[in-house]
Amino acid sequence: MPECTAIVNDVNTFRDRHIGPDDVGERHMLGVLGFASTDELIDSAVPQQIRCPEGLRLPAARSEPEVLAALRELAEANQQRVQMIGLGYFDTVTPAVLRRNMLESPAWYTAYTPYQPEISQGRLEALLTFQTLIEDLTALPVAGASLLDEATAVTEAVLLMRRANKSVSSDRVILDADCLPQTLAVVRGRAEALGVEVVVADLSDALPDGDAFGVVFQSPGASGAVRDLAPLIAAARERGMLTTVAADLLSLTLLTAPGEQGADIAVGSAQRFGVPLFFGGPHAGYMAVRSGLERMLPGRLVGVSVDVDGKPAYRLALQTREQHIRRDKATSNICTAQALLANVAAMYAVYHGPEGLRAIATRVHRHAAALAEGLRAAGREIVHDRFFDTVMVRVPGRAPLIVAAADSAGINLRLVDTDHVGISCDECTTDEVIGRVLDVFGAAPAAAGHPFALPAALLRTSEYLRHPVFHSHRSETAMLRFLRELSDRDLALDRTMIPLGSCTMKLNAAAEMEPISWPGFAGIHPYAPAGQTAGYRELIGDLESWLAEITGYDRVSLQPNAGSQGELAGLLAINAYHRSRGEDHRDICLIPQSAHGTNAASAVLAGMRVVVVKTAANGNIDHDDLAAKLADHDGQVAAIMLTYPSTHGVYETDVRAVCDLVHRAGGQVYVDGANLNALVGLAKPGEFGGDVSHLNLHKTFCIPHGGGGPGVGPVAVRAHLAPFLPGDPLQDGAAPVSAANYGSAGILPITWAYLALMGPDGLTAATKAAVLGANYLARSLAGHYPVLYTGDTGLVAHECILDLRDITKRTGVTAEDVAKRLIDYGFHAPTLSFPVSGTLMVEPTESEDLAELDRFIEAMIGIHDEISRVGSGEWALDHSPLRQAPHTAEQVTDAEWALPYSRQYAAYPVASLRLNKYWPPVRRIDGVHGDRNLACSCPAPEAFQTDTAEILQEAFA
């Protein structure tokens, strides 16, 4: 089909569609701020010292049809094959109902991380369903709400075993030699930074001698072998070791589960549950643990609690383990994970149910068995008798030839070495494919009636997925409505601005999103031969060079799967650099008090010691304290991690001086680039003093948040650090930080499209609009809520902190009350109590138009009026709309109403809500209750059948 590549119309370019305010809106905002032009505002707000003199050298903006046509060409330059390489990545059918109504639905993909649980019940329920799926299949009681990929999940398991093992004092961990090669590479790199000794051993028969704090088994092994792990797990326990099984999720529908074999931890990937190959990611990693370890679980965990009516409600549990609270003592540095992909996997299981999953697994196994039988009949040697989906064939000296012949037949097989070929079957394998593979080996077609080759002793006898959710949504109608029911409970960007400071919840344009599910991008195996992935390589090359130009650095790696992983990669590069110069002793990482929690957590994971630098009264780094810390640790400083503009939303004028001080002390400067939305086109961290930065493509560069992931956290470096960027996990070289060389490659077309659509001028205009919007909000609200920090000129950068601490002191109304009352006004709350407790941090982004900004201002001023009525004594705080918020429909329509304001005022505090009202499904949630009574799987349906009216009557009696 020929595509229209003309410009759609001559008035509205993509840039006008992406940037919310039009000329009239812009002039209005500038008028409020007292500037004649946006450039004048920018010249005042952004310090001259950091400005880059020239514009960005990027290709000029293209229209949507042009960009989509270019992307289609790139997708077509990737050659599709039947993917039978395996190694943790398998082709799968994403049911169309899930693809269109979840993966491609803005109600799901534009949602933010569920930190405000009252407006996140739908996606929290989906994540809880994911946890229940993992818990059931692994037979372990507590699973988290996703990790970044399998290899990093194994690494997290190794670190967990080390923390948890109090009985053995050893720094050794034993890894199964049959672990996936990328897992071995990632674990080795991460272990080295922390002084963990990795022993890779053949565990077919027994454990190696010597102490170790833990063992990791792979099941099935990379070779395809399925073993009974129970005796080895028991032997490990006998010797005081903890045990982890990296298990293929689909195989667990047939094979005895890790929990039943006595394992402490199970990890793996949920990719083959309906998530495309995506050339390596994004995919949800999973982890489940036995009871007793749940408080050490890395990443996010959804739990069940109650709202003020005692009704079951979901929210993130045990957050005190996490980096945003525990910082350098956190269980891990993971922040953004893989929520959207975990939700797809959960719904795949909901749609198929246990019988459907077992049927898929059985078919996969029977195809593998038919293949093995056909090959044996032709005299080929099959290396392992016991396998699930992967057959390893011994073909001395001929493996490269066979793999090449398969390629010609349109099939990718795994070249293990010159003597061995691996063949992995999956949900998409057909009899016809099996016939073609056999033909490549010169074998006759398989006989009809495929055998089942797994012995009874290895088979699972226990039931799983008995919860009604896995039995109630089998028709497409039911599934469609279930997805809609869940997403209707949530507030995402498709309904309201999400003014989250530091998270840049901007437009995720439809044209940017569209290409990701095209088969030319979605159907590529990460380990496909380079010759088949020319389109991806070109796209990645473009993106690397464009991001280098935007940041002022020399080299970019797109491998890290989130900002946290970019941080770790950057710090590991700094370590390696110091080591290369014989300065191994440099291990101090200076981190300002106001830094994001991932900074400190990443530094610890890179083997560094964290030293906190104080904040001065104006919110900037305290230079005296910095000088003192540099002197105290003379010769030992490895790096400083700065966020620029700071997490206080201010362009610090003296950032160059800070960088100089650290450089003079021999340290490297890490600039956390999560706030790059205030810099693109105006200033470049690589030019004002940074040696390395990570970016958040899921913030500044339009990849949607997905309700808590996916993310991409590229790491950008100056030339001297380039040799230490993450290496390819399947090649020797620098340590990788993800299982796939290009991390979450499947979502890179989103950022590519954004940059191509905006062009250099559009990108710079977006930054200016973001700064204008933030200053307009700050100025409009300053009379009601003091803005905590501004720069020397009284201006902020792209976000501002509203200080509620004085209000709280005077009236008792907290920042949390304001956040919850905003729900009644139809808004997602700003960032609550970060980086300063008792404040709200607001970031409008360039995508919100004047009408939406004004709607937010109206809400915040309306709430201020409510605060005054509490302050004046008119309303008791407990019976005020602020503390009662959010109000549910059930509450305001109940027969009883004992509050001093009207039902109408509770629900419709401003008139526009009568036309467009979001009703939260639960009232304010009691987080502490949920942590005390930890429950992390789907509750029985009876739990929801409490009589709320009765409880309400009691409450107000």
- Which residues are at the interface with ligand PLP (CB under 6 A)? 335-336, 502, 562-564, 596, 598, 643, 647, 672, 674, 696, 711, 713
Output the smallest distance, CB 786 to ligand PLP, in A. 23
Find, among 466, 471, 465, 469, the residue nearest to 485 by Cα. Answer: 469
Output the smallest distance, CB 688 to ligand PLP, in A. 17
Strands across the sheet with 715-717, in order? 555-557, 715-717, 692-694, 668-672, 637-643, 588-592, 609-613
Q: Which residue number, 140 or 748, has a Cβ lying nearer to ligand PLP?
A: 748
3-state SS, 635-646, equals CCEEEEEEECCC
Q: State the burial class of residue 927 (Cβ atoms within 10 Å of its Cβ: 0-12, 13-18, 19+).
A: middle
Compute how many other C-beta atoms are within 10 angstroms of the C-beta atom of residue 620.
20
Q: Which residue number, 161 or 683, has a Cβ lying nearer to ligand PLP?
A: 683
Q: Which residue number, 121 or 647, has a Cβ lying nearer to ligand PLP?
A: 647
Output the smallest distance, CB 793 to ligand PLP, in A. 23
Output the smallest distance, CB 664 to ligand PLP, in A. 26
Q: Which residue number, 799 or 803, has a Cβ lying nearer to ligand PLP?
A: 799
Place of tokens 């032997």: 235
**Alpha-carbon 413 to chain mean position:** 30
Q: Which residue number, 312 or 708, has a Cβ lying nearer to ligand PLP?
A: 708
Find, among 491, 499, 487, the residue nearest to 847 by Cα. Answer: 499
Output the smallest distance, CB 603 to ligand PLP, in A. 12
Output the smallest distance, CB 113 to ligand PLP, in A. 8
Q: Which residue number, 243 or 675, has a Cβ lying nearer to ligand PLP?
A: 675
Q: State the burial class of residue 156 (Cβ atoms within 10 Å of its Cβ: 0-12, 13-18, 19+).
A: buried
d(CA 364, CA 362): 5
Output the smallest distance, CB 701 to ligand PLP, in A. 12
Q: Which residue number, 700 or 847, has a Cβ lying nearer to ligand PLP?
A: 700
Q: State the burial class of residue 935 (Cβ atoms within 10 Å of its Cβ: 0-12, 13-18, 19+).
A: middle
Output the smallest distance, CB 114 to ligand PLP, in A. 14
Strands across the sheet with 839-842, in order? 800-803, 839-842, 831-832
Output the smallest distance, CB 697 to ligand PLP, in A. 9
Tokens in use for 709? 């992931």
Give residues with Cβ within 8 angstroms of 727, minimum separation 6: 185, 733, 734, 735, 736
Q: Which residue number, 339 or 350, has a Cβ lying nearer to ligand PLP?
A: 339
d(CA 544, CA 538): 10
Give residues with Cβ within 8 angstroms of 787, minimum separation 6: 778, 781, 796, 800, 801, 802, 803
Q: Which residue number, 375 or 692, has a Cβ lying nearer to ligand PLP?
A: 692
Output the smallest distance, CB 504 to ligand PLP, in A. 8
d(CA 491, CA 248): 34
Q: Which residue number, 258 or 619, has a Cβ lying nearer to ligand PLP?
A: 619
Find, among 171, 173, 175, the residue nearest to 203 by Cα. Answer: 175
Length of the chain: 957
Output the smallest distance, CB 643 to ligand PLP, in A. 5
**Alpha-carbon 163 to chain mean position:** 24
In the bound state, the residue with its beta carbon closest to ligand PLP is 563
Place of tokens 């340290």: 667
Output the smallest distance, CB 827 to ligand PLP, in A. 20
Output the smallest distance, CB 230 to ligand PLP, in A. 37
User: What are the DSSP E strand ranges found in 631-683?
Assistant: 637-643, 668-672
Find, among 359, 395, 368, the residue nearest to 380 by Cα. Answer: 395
User: Is the alpha carbon torsion for 26, 28, 30, 32 positive or negative?
Assistant: negative
d(CA 900, CA 875): 7
Output the smallest distance, CB 735 to ligand PLP, in A. 19
Q: Which residue number, 248 or 672, has a Cβ lying nearer to ligand PLP?
A: 672
d(CA 667, CA 636): 8
Output the smallest distance, CB 670 to ligand PLP, in A. 11
CB 511 within 8 A of CB 47: no
Tokens in use for 416? 């293990």
Tokens in use for 606? 């890179």
Compute how many other C-beta atoms are within 10 angstroms of the C-beta atom of residue 941.
11
Output the smallest distance, CB 152 to ligand PLP, in A. 12
Q: Which residue number, 114 or 221, has a Cβ lying nearer to ligand PLP?
A: 114
Output the smallest distance, CB 713 to ligand PLP, in A. 5
Tokens in use for 936? 């992390």
d(CA 147, CA 338): 6
Q: Which residue number, 229 or 774, has a Cβ lying nearer to ligand PLP?
A: 774
3-class secondary structure, 680: coil
In this structure, what DSSP letter does residue 392 have? E
3-state SS, 14-54, equals HHHHHCCCCHHHHHHHHHHHCCCCHHHHHHHHCCHHHECCC
Q: Which residue number, 223 or 336, has a Cβ lying nearer to ligand PLP?
A: 336
Q: Which residue number, 218 or 502, has a Cβ lying nearer to ligand PLP?
A: 502
CB 681 within 8 A of CB 56: yes
Q: What is the largest CA-CA distance in the chain?
A: 90
Beta bridge partners of 215: 174, 243
Residue 359: which H helix or E strand, with range? helix 339-377
Output the smallest distance, CB 560 to ligand PLP, in A. 9
Q: Which residue number, 337 or 347, has a Cβ lying nearer to ligand PLP?
A: 337
